[in-house]
Structures are given as C-alpha cells and as structure tokens.
Amino acid sequence: MEKRATFATKIGVIAATVGSSVGLGNIWRFPYEAGQNGGAAFLLVYLGFVVLLGIPVMLAEFTVGRRSKANVNDAFRVLKPNSNWHLVGLFGILAAVLIMGFYAVIAGWTLEYVFQSVGNTLDKGSPEAMHTAFTSFTSSPIRPLAWTILFLSLNYAIISRGVRGGIEKASNVLMPFLFVVLIIFSIHSLTLDGAKEGLAFLFKPDFSKITSGVVLSAMGQAFFSLSLGMGTLITYASYFGKSTDLPRTSVYVAILDTLVAIIAGVIIFPAVFTYGLSPEQGPELLFVTLPNIFSQMPGGYFWSILFFILIAVAALTSTISLCEVVVAYLHEKIGFTRRRATQILTAICITLSTLCSLSFGLLSDITVFGKNFFDLSDFTASNILLPLGGLLISLFVGWSLDRSAVKEELSNKGTIPMPYFNILIFILKYIAPIGISIIFLSGLGLF
Ligand code: TRP
C-alpha cells in the first residue's frame, strides 16, 4: 500500500490547521454575521460556542482522523467496520462541495480587489460611489466569475501537488504575516472618529438582541470558522504524526482563529461608523468598508495591495483544506489519481460557483425560502450541514468509540495529562448532541 503523507514538522501541523480555520470565515463572514446579529451579543454567544462545542468537536475530529489515518469516509469504516457511520463522511463531502461553491466566489472578489488596488482604482471618491462600484461589479455576469475561476485554478495548482509540497509551505510563511498586517490595520482603525462607536457595537452586548436565530447563526459561524463538522480536521489529523499534541493544537487553533475574527471586527466596525455605513448589510460589508479605510490610511495604496493578497492567500489555505477532504476520498477510495480527483472537483466547483456568482445579478430573482442560490448554499452548509455533522461526530466519539481508545489517542498513550477528559466525554455524549439539536430546531423555527 502507498504510504500516506504526514505533515513534516510540529509547526507545520499547527500552521496548516490554523491555515484551514483562518480564512474568509474570520475576515469576511464573522464581521457580516456579527453586524446582522446584534454585534456584541453575537460575539458573546459565539465565544461560548467556541469553548463549549468548538474545542470538543475539534478534539473528536482529531481523534477520528489520527486514529484511523484515513479519508473521511474510510475513517469511520476503519474505526467501526460494518456500521453506517461512514455515511457521516459522505455527508461531509457534500458539505465541502457546497461550501466551495460560494467560498470561491468571495475569494474571486478579493482577487478583483487586488487588481483594483494595484491599478489604484479602488477609491471612487465617496462611500456611496464605492458602494455603487461594488454592486455593479458583483452583479455583472462575466468579470466576477473570471476571478473565481482564476482562484479555483490557483487552488487546483496547489492541491494537485500534494500535502507536503503545497499546503505546508504556503501556510508556514503566510499565516504569521497575515496576523501582523491585521494588527497594524486594527491600530489604524482605533484612530478613526467612529472608533468608540464601533468598539461599543462589537464589545458592549445588548442581551435583548439574543434570539434563537442569533444563536443558530453564532453556532453556524463557530463551526464554519473552526472548519468543523465535515471532516476537514479528520482529514488533516490523518496526516498528523503520532507525537502531535492534539489537545494543545486544538486550543491554539481555537485561540488564534478567534483572535483573527475579533481583530477583523476591530478593523471593520470603527470604519463602518466613521464612514456612515450600515453594519447590517451582509456579505458585502467587508468589500464596501475596506476601500474607505484604505482611501484615508497613510500608505493606503501599498496596504490595500498587501491586504487583499493576504486575504486571498488565507482563503486559499482554507479552500485547500476543504478540497483535500474530497480529493483524499476520490483518490484513496475511488482510485482516481490526485490530479484527476482535483480536476473533477474543480469542475464541480466551477459549476456551483457560477450559480452563486450569478445570484448577485442575472439570477437574483430566483429564490428558495426567500434566499438566492448564494445565501441558500451558505445557510444550508453552515447552519445545517456543519452542526449536523458536528452532532454526529460527537455521538460517534462519545458513544460508539471505546472510551479507552479515545483517551489513548488524545493523551498520546498516556503521556499527556488529561484531567478534563471526563468533562470532554460528557460534552460529546450529552451537551453537544442535545444542545445542537435544540438550537437547530428552534433556530429553524421548528419549535
Ligand atoms: N474555516 C474556514 C474559514 O473560516 C473555511 C473552511 C475551511 C471550512 N474548511 C472548512 C468551513 C470546513 C467549514 C468546514 O474561512
């Protein structure tokens, strides 16, 4: 049998996993979800989910991945032969493809913004003009799609070269760099006139804003941002070496991912209030806010080029991880070469992305439950499939796997002390499944 790849170094493990979690979810999706769901109230509920569900479900995925050393579908077969658990893996593959469809569209937008930054055409003179320019770009049929296809081609080039060569190298260099640039921008935003109002929006919770819809969105955001619920981290953990400290890795990843989201909020909201924008505008928030920031920032020309390149790269390290789930499955299970598997996946992504991209223009009138194709993909994947996947993975590790096997895996055969092990199992057995079910049903308005 072909030997499976592993990540080369400890720092590579963390960087690649952080690379998967940190992406458009933090910089684009978190601010817009927070903006639509009451700001600080959303942040607070979100933080609760990261600690209470995020870290435990991440540990559950790590356990399944490293113990089985297999793709998402085989992982469950290896650990529980002759059961139906492997369907969870198939379901993860579906979610991955659905997420790729809309994610690649937003990633394409970031490339357009790199292009405009280089040409110095981002600044249209007034916040209104910048908004109009954005809408006319996203609603046009060809241009956004061309960028999306370019993005998917870059993604293809990295993935078809394999685990060590592509993923690890890119993440190691670029993630720390992104972090530094975000800090610099947040400091600039704190000097804006609207800083006080922006910070109050993000950090001063108004508890009356917490509704079941807000709770569902915060849960979806936690799963999305941490790359949970569909086997990305099962697949990545299958490449971890046996000395990787899983509990420590999960805590690092959760902290870094959350920090990046909060810093993105600190960059965006002061600017939103400074330039008279609305925090509730949805997916366009990042794209209509940033050009205003750069137009006023010393060295804005240079910073905007750098920033949009880094966002595109952060998106790339996330899509690589999403695609890896599908590619590993098609390669190991169906027997396609990695290259062929990546080609098939890329073709599917282009099809879905086309529908998502056109739903901002030509197809904007076609809606299901009041949502266009883009919103529907995002909502179904993030707020339904991911929590459902997380629920099933929790049940699998909490109930179906042997407790001693879980402990052995998480503690590296007893070499890492785990005083909280029983709490973790309790969460996986009861809290996560029951909590997710309730939030789910009430958030969807089913009771
Ligand atoms: N977490 C990434 C982000 O925040 C996106 C992502 C990568 C993802 N892999 C995933 C989301 C798996 C859900 C599931 O941008």
Summarize pLDDT for 191-240 with one digit per residue, the tens: 999 999 999 999 999 999 898 889 988 998 999 999 999 999 998 899 88
Any ligand 1 atom below 6 A from CB of 317: no
What does the H/E/C string look like for the chain? Answer: CCCCCCCCCHHHHHHHHHHHHCCHHHHHHHHHHHHHCCCHHHHHHHHHHHHHHHHHHHHHHHHHHHHHCCCHHHHHHHHCCCCCCHHHHHHHHHHHHHHHHHHHHHHHHHHHHHHHHHCCCCCCCCHHHHHHHHHHHHHCCCHHHHHHHHHHHHHHHHHCCCHHHHHHHHHHHHHHHHHHHHHHHHHHHHCCCCHHHHHHHHHCCCHHHCCHHHHHHHHHHHHHHCCCCCCHHHHHHCCCCCCCCHHHHHHHHHHHHHHHHHHHHHHHHHHHHHCCCCCCCCCCHHHHHHHHHHHHCCCHHHHHHHHHHHHHHHHHHHHHHHHHHHHHHHHHHHCCCHHHHHHHHHHHHHHHHHHHHHCCCCCCCCCECCECHHHHHHHHHHHHHHHHHHHHHHHHHHHHCCHHHHHHHHCCCCCCCCCCHHHHHHHHHHHHHHHHHHHHHHHCCCC
Distance 9 CA to ligand 1 centre (A): 22
For atom 8 of ligand 1, the residue with the nearest CA is 227
∠ CA 229-286-362 to the nearest 5 degrees? Answer: 85
Any ligand 1 atom below 6 A from CB of 23: yes
Any ligand 1 atom below 6 A from CB of 320: no
Testing ligand 1's pocket by substitution, the residue of 46, 99, 233, 382 carrying the most ligand atoms inside 8 A of its CB is 99
Residue 271: half-sphere exposure toward Cβ, Cα within 13 Å = 26
Any ligand 1 atom below 6 A from CB of 227: yes
Distance 145 CA to ligand 1 centre (A): 21
For atom 9 of ligand 1, the residue with the nearest CA is 227
For atom 6 of ligand 1, the residue with the nearest CA is 227
- Cα–Cα distance for residue pair 289/274, rounded to 1 Å: 10
| Residue 321 and residue 236 in contact, taking contact as beta carbons nearer than 8 Å | yes
Distance 206 CA to ligand 1 centre (A): 28
Q: What is the mean pLDDT of each run of 10 residues along the chain (447 residues)?
A: 64 80 95 94 96 96 94 89 89 93 96 94 84 91 95 89 61 81 93 95 92 89 93 90 92 95 96 92 91 87 90 90 89 89 95 94 83 90 90 95 93 92 96 90 70
- pLDDT at residue number 1: 45
| Residue 97 and residue 372 in contact, taking contact as beta carbons nearer than 8 Å | no
Any ligand 1 atom below 6 A from CB of 99: yes
Testing ligand 1's pocket by substitution, the residue of 105, 167, 224 carrying the most ligand atoms inside 8 A of its CB is 224
Any ligand 1 atom below 6 A from CB of 20: yes
Distance 3 CA to ligand 1 centre (A): 27
| Residue 435 and residue 53 in contact, taking contact as beta carbons nearer than 8 Å | yes
Q: Which of 34, 288, 316, 309 is nearest to 178 (CA)?
A: 309
Any ligand 1 atom below 6 A from CB of 272: no
Distance 432 CA to ligand 1 centre (A): 20
Any ligand 1 atom below 6 A from CB of 68: no
| Residue 247 and residue 61 in contact, taking contact as beta carbons nearer than 8 Å | no
Q: pTM of the entire structure?
A: 0.92
Testing ligand 1's pocket by substitution, the residue of 21, 46, 380, 393 carrying the most ligand atoms inside 8 A of its CB is 21
Distance 296 CA to ligand 1 centre (A): 32
- pLDDT at residue number 333: 85
- pLDDT at residue number 297: 85
Distance 223 CA to ligand 1 centre (A): 8
